[in-house]
Structure 1
Amino acid sequence: MPYTQEEGGRINNFAVEPKMYTTEPPTTTEKRNYIIAGVVALAFVTGVVFVAFSVS
């Protein structure tokens, strides 16, 4: 652990910083998968709401 000592004798402990990296934009296949997952999620939520209204 990296420690620094101040003038008064106090010791500070700093966290180790993670390595940073840049992300890459999604490919066309990933975009298509995101759209499919969104449609499936929307259909699921719509179905749950429909069941809730029909039961009540």
Structure 2
Amino acid sequence: MPYTTEEGGRLNNFAVEPKVYQAQPWTAQQKVRAALLVTGVLVLVAGLMAIAVGVS
């Protein structure tokens, strides 16, 4: 673990930084999956709201 020694012999630890990389653009398949996921979540939320209104 990287550290430095300060005045009086105290150690100062630093976190290990993760490797930085550039994100890749989404593929067509990933875009379709994301759209299906968003659609499913919206349908689920609308259904739960309908149930809540029906019960009340």
* Common fold: TM-score over 0.5: yes
Report matched runs for 1:8-19 at 5 Å. 8-9=7-8, 10-19=10-19
Greater helix percent: which structure?
2
1:4-54 deviations in Å (ceiling 9; x for gaps): 123x23322111111111110110110011111111111111100001101
SS at match of 1:24: coil
Query: 1:29 — aligned with what?
Result: 29
Unaligned ranges ≥5, structure 1:
none
Question: Deviating runs (4+, > 3 A) in structure 1?
Answer: none
Query: 1:40 — aligned with what?
Result: 40
- How far apart in 2 are the matches of 1:35 and 1:3? 46
- How far apart in 2 are the matches of 1:3 and 1:44? 50
Unaligned ranges ≥5, structure 2:
none
